[in-house]
Amino acid sequence: MESLSLLVILTALQGCHLQILHVTQRPSASAVPGSSITLECNYGLSSLYEMSAGSFKWYRHVLNGDEISLTNKHYKGRIVRTNGDDFMKKKLANIELQRLELTDTGIYICEVSVISITNITEYGKGTFLNVAGVPEVIHKLNPFIIRVCIIGGILIILISSAVLLKHARQDNSSTKELRPIAFSELKM
């Protein structure tokens, strides 16, 4: 009798498709222009069955908006996606954005689709990426080179000022002396 009850319950559960897909993202991330950042997306599947296949996409600003992919001209050559093995085994759906630009600031939404007994698609709540600050290239410059550039700039300004001052003095000595003019001397 107990085995019959268990069989009935399992059959009923099989028809219910107890599968829940949870997609999580970090709410925000910050980076500077020229650097790289990994936008993290993790998922979990509660199911009586194993996942047989799946995929993920990223969108910018709105669901089904601009897809972040190698075919999108703004991101071409600047993204690296989590490989299929890490997607299936580690439940990762990350993308790395490289050579960040100020215009990359925005909300990025992760979409995960899995195939088990049925197809399920869920979305993360989005990650706000703020790209601002001093470009990464400046941080990597050698302090000695920065000092040389600053001193060189100051020297150029000083030499230019000295040359202009010398020419101004020569021009003043070659002109006749200026004297104030009285109001009565003006002709109207």
pLDDT in tens, 152-186: 888 888 887 777 777 777 766 655 555 666 666 66
The answer to whether the pTM exceeds 0.85 is: no
pLDDT tens by residue, 80-133: 999 999 999 999 999 999 999 999 999 999 999 998 778 889 999 999 999 998
Query: Which helix (DSSP H) or strand (DSSP E) does residue 26 occupy?
Result: none
Domain 17-135 belongs to what architecture?
Sandwich (2.60)
Task: Pick the closest to residue 114 from 88, 81, 80, 89 (CA basis).
Answer: 88
First-last CA distance in the chain: 126
